[in-house]
Structure 1
């Protein structure tokens, strides 16, 4: 009887271990909205883009299995802190404000924020030049924070409820916005397209307190082991040439930044 019980216990333990191993995938959160050239989907539903390739390479360097998990941007930090995802790999800037709630890996790229407006419009990004204008930015982003800090008291209005990057670009083209704020590189496809040909970057915006020092992997506070794994893997792909090989597919400059 005792032997039978031991066999049952052993079987249960093995089943539990197998279940644990099967659920050991790292869920990488990314925005549900497309964000080329960082993250997008082709017609077949395959994920493409710089961050997708880099994220896959980092997971391989860690020796981990990762699963991309789309989350609406304004809910992506709550999804992390509640355990719905294990990490945010989605162009999230490392800022002091966010670090009150979550932790970050070392940076894996850094590009400046920009103000985009019609070529015919005389604006330079200063608060004075934005007087009477309607300014847009994606919800729950550092770009929305910048708009609220610098333009709230001078602009006719600021609209920072856009769920996706393309949404505020569409309103800019339609004339419902005078200017939009976003990542300078993320504007590239739009500005090089037929619909964006009449628009341009008017200013590169600076405020380290808002924009931080680069983009990193968002992690739960206290998840130090996973943070160490990401840092080691980022360093590894930087050192062995994998990072540069991926970056050169998308950019003709050093995306890693200073």
Structure 2
């Protein structure tokens, strides 16, 4: 190849390279991990498809980022280890942002406000939910959750029972095997007001908002080395909140705005 031809070939390669890199950057493909057992946030529909608030928010973010996305169901107690192992790229599963979890993953800005609550049978006369008042009582929560951390840390004299899913906690409360449970406020509000089995029960006591347990809100989790992805998700989240997409999804599932709890 003569000198002129070599120069032309090199120039063509340099011209093509940036275009190829830009295309690679724009062709974002994401795998989204969620639980699939936490309605109305994430669940399997009758036809076996993942649905719920988390899933629709994930789809809206993917549309905004022009990303090709797929969803992966994962049991809650293994959801962070599976992210770190590369099973998926981001967790969108109503996960509280806590200092304990921030040691393992990085979080986006909150896409929900966080609060927990006690839930008791409708005929319960319990009004004091201090550790002293609940001594000897049987209280349930989903295992590997902030509710579990809250109960095991502050209620040593209660019979704290932990379950693999929120549905299993609900079932034991309905069946009379629990005096109370602690759950996330929004799904517990939805369960008690919007489902037949949940009509047995009511929210009780003041909302639990201790930042040591509910953290800074609910965020999406990525691997600690994936800060560029975290920033993309934050930007997309800001956009769907600003353009009304977030509210449209919120209003399909909830009577209040769960970004503000108002």
Fold shared per TM-score above 0.5: yes
Larger Rg: 1 or 2? 2
Tell me what 2:180 maps to: 179
- What's the RMSD between the two structures over aligned residues? 1.9
Paired positions, count: 235
Q: Does residue 79 of structure 2 align to residue 80 of structure 1? A: no
Q: Secondary structure of the equivalent of 1:246?
A: helix
TM-score (norm 2): 0.84
Q: Secondary structure of the equivalent of 2:186?
A: coil
**Residues 142 and 115 of structure 1: CA distance in aligned 2, closer, same or farther (over 3 Å):** same
Shift of 1:43: 1.4
CA contact (8 A) 2:140 2:182 kept: yes
In structure 2, distance between residues paired with 1:190 and 1:209: 25
Q: Does residue 136 of structure 2 align to residue 132 of structure 1? A: yes
CA shift digits 1:25-58 (9 cap, x unpaired): 311110142x121112221123322111111000
> Structure 1 stretches of 5 or more lacking a match?
1-16
Tell me what 1:141 maps to: 145
Tell me what 2:208 maps to: 205
In structure 2, distance between residues paired with 1:117 and 1:91: 23
> Structure 2 stretches of 5 or more lacking a match?
1-20
Superposition map of 1:45-194 within 5 A: 45-121=48-124, 122-152=126-156, 154-155=157-158, 157-160=159-162, 162-192=163-193, 193-194=195-196
In structure 1, distance between residues paired with 2:41 and 2:93: 8
Q: Secondary structure of the equivalent of 1:196?
A: helix
In structure 1, distance between residues paired with 2:34 and 2:185: 19
TM-score (norm 1): 0.86
In structure 2, distance between residues paired with 1:59 and 1:187: 28
Q: Does residue 260 of structure 2 align to residue 257 of structure 1? A: yes
Q: Secondary structure of the equivalent of 1:128?
A: coil
Q: Does residue 218 of structure 2 align to residue 222 of structure 1? A: no
Shift of 1:117: 0.9
CA contact (8 A) 1:125 1:205 kept: no
In structure 2, distance between residues paired with 1:107 and 1:217: 8
